[in-house]
Amino acid sequence: MSTRDGFVGAIGNTPLIALPKLSAALGRTILAKAEFLNPGGSVKDRAAKAIVEDAEARGALTPGGTIVEGTAGNTGIALALIAAARGYRAIIAIPDDQSQEKIAMLRTFGADVRVVPAVPFANPENYYHVARRIAEQIPGALWADQFNNTANRGAHYATTGPEIWNALDGKLDAFVAAAGTGGTLAGTAAYLKERDPRIRTAVCDPYGSSLYAHVKCGTLDTEGDSNLEGIGIKRITENFRDARVDDAIRVNDRSAVEMAYWLLREEGLYAGGSSALNVVGAARLARSLPEGSAVATILCDGGDRYRSRLWNPEWLAENDCLPTARDLDFL
Ligand code: PMP
């Protein structure tokens, strides 16, 4: 064991957890990168660190400066904590349909939080545009722009990909992840494909997102809707553009909820909805591969951020998503 230097130094090198019961049931090994063990509690610590360090290196962020971002929460949480550790101010625009837990955390962590109506991207009041305008009005402020700032993807190319590869000594057959900005998927896939082009990569996409149609038939068509947070997008970001993705798997909210409860009950893993959706995607992809194959995915954040929703039976009942499955029959 060695020490880590501060909050930023503690980001990354998360465990890659083999899921014993799921792997036994499938006859294929499912491996989940425990990103909820990052110091800020999510996979977005990696992107936030890379974005801040890139801006510092370019002189776009100077001591005492301000970081502005529009976020579904996790990037904002990571940026607020890095801002505390490095002496910056954080202003975070977040849509009002995200969990109250994440909004409360942002306030606790000292961010200047601007809760905005959840409106489509085309609307100038969308959180993305609000964040850009706030940054433009503050001299010297950095707009992190996680969607199009490819330092995000670069973080996963430089860290997540190599960590997975090294943990497995290259014995990996597939990698699957959902995408919000696309940084995790595109960066990790780029590294893994570079090491071994036979590694199959796939995006698992919730309903209401365009990435499934984009990969399958080159359109941005959407179908249905999803309540899962932080994933799914209707446009191609700079982080996702040219991503080395072979396939797409669509997963509905019900399957993700079933998997979230199965993971807690059977594997002792308390995760958020996007993590559960990723594990569904990994399991389905694994089943299409020969027995004994190894498939890796991401546990993006922990369950505590969703106590009032995913982990609240009343909310699940209201959204017609109460888990009912026996064992893995929902797969
Ligand atoms: N899951 C959660 C909970 C997230 O907050 C995010 C980031 N928006 C993702 C998954 C997707 O990560 P990425 O932005 O790297 O595609």
The residues spanned by each domain of the chain are: 6-42+150-318, 44-143
Percentage of the chain exceeding pLDDT 90: 97
Residue 2 has pLDDT above 90, yes or no: no
Model pLDDT, residue 326: 86
pLDDT at 178: 98
The CA distances from residue 306 to 48, 60, 139, 301, in Å, are 21, 34, 36, 10
The residue-averaged pLDDT of 25-44 equals 98
Model pLDDT, residue 328: 96
Specify the amino acid at residue 122: A
User: What confidence score (pLDDT) does residue 98 get?
Assistant: 87
pLDDT above 80 (res 193):
yes
Q: Facing residues of 200 across strands? A: 174
Among 139, 179, 159, 160, which residue's Cα sits nearest to residue 296?
160
Tens-digit pLDDT profile for residues 132-174: 999 999 999 999 999 999 999 999 999 999 999 999 999 999 9
In angstroms, what CA-CA distances link 184 with 62, 117, 145, 156, 179? Answer: 27, 27, 15, 6, 7
What is the pLDDT of the chain when averaged over all its residues? Answer: 97
pLDDT at residue number 223: 95
How many A from CA of 92 to the centre of ligand 1? Answer: 16
Q: Which of 306, 327, 324 is nearest to 315 (CA)?
A: 306
CB distance 164 to 177 below 8 Å: no
Q: For the domain made up of 44-143, give the CATH fold.
A: Rossmann fold (3.40.50)
Per-residue confidence (pLDDT) for residue 88, from 0 to 100: 98
pLDDT at 72 over 90: no
pLDDT tens across 89-109, in order? 999 999 998 889 989 999 999
Taking 80 as the threshold, does the pLDDT of residue 48 lie above it? yes
Q: What is the DSSP string of 16-82?
A: EEE-HHHHHHHTSEEEEEEGGGSTTSBTHHHHHHHHHHHHHHHTSS-TT-EEEEE-SSHHHHHHHHH
Residue ID of nearest Cα to ligand 1 atom 3: 230
**Catalytic entry in 44, 49, 102, 193:** 44
Supply the pLDDT for residue 312.
97
Quick check: 63 pLDDT over 90?
Answer: yes
Give the Å distance between the CA of 188 and the centre of ligand 1. Answer: 13
In this predicted structure, the answer to whether residue 1 has a pLDDT above a threshold of 90 is no
Question: In CATH terms, are 6-42+150-318 and 44-143 the same topology?
Answer: yes
Please tell me the chain's helix, strand, coil percentages from 3-state DSSP, rounded to the nearest 5: 40, 15, 40
CA of 146 to the centre of ligand 1 (A): 10
Q: Decide if 216 is catalytic.
A: no
φ and ψ at 32, to 5 degrees? -125, 125
pLDDT for 249 equals 98
Q: How far is residue 227 from each of residues 69, 277, 300, 318, measured CA to CA in Å?
A: 22, 12, 16, 12
Provide φ and ψ at 195, rounded to 5°: -75, -40
CA of 40 to the centre of ligand 1 (A): 13
Atom of ligand 1 nearest to the CA of 240: 16
Percent of the chain with pLDDT over 70: 100
Q: What is the pLDDT of residue 53?
A: 98
CATH topology of domain 6-42+150-318: Rossmann fold (3.40.50)
Q: Burial level of 87, CB count in 10 A (0-12/13-18/19+)?
A: exposed
Residue 77 neighbours by CB under 8 Å, 6+ apart: 40, 41, 42, 44, 102, 105, 106, 109
Q: Assign 297 a pLDDT band (cuts: 50, 70, 90).
A: very high
Tell me which residues have their CB closer than 6 angstroms to ligand 1: 42-44, 72, 74, 178-185, 229-231, 272, 274, 300-301
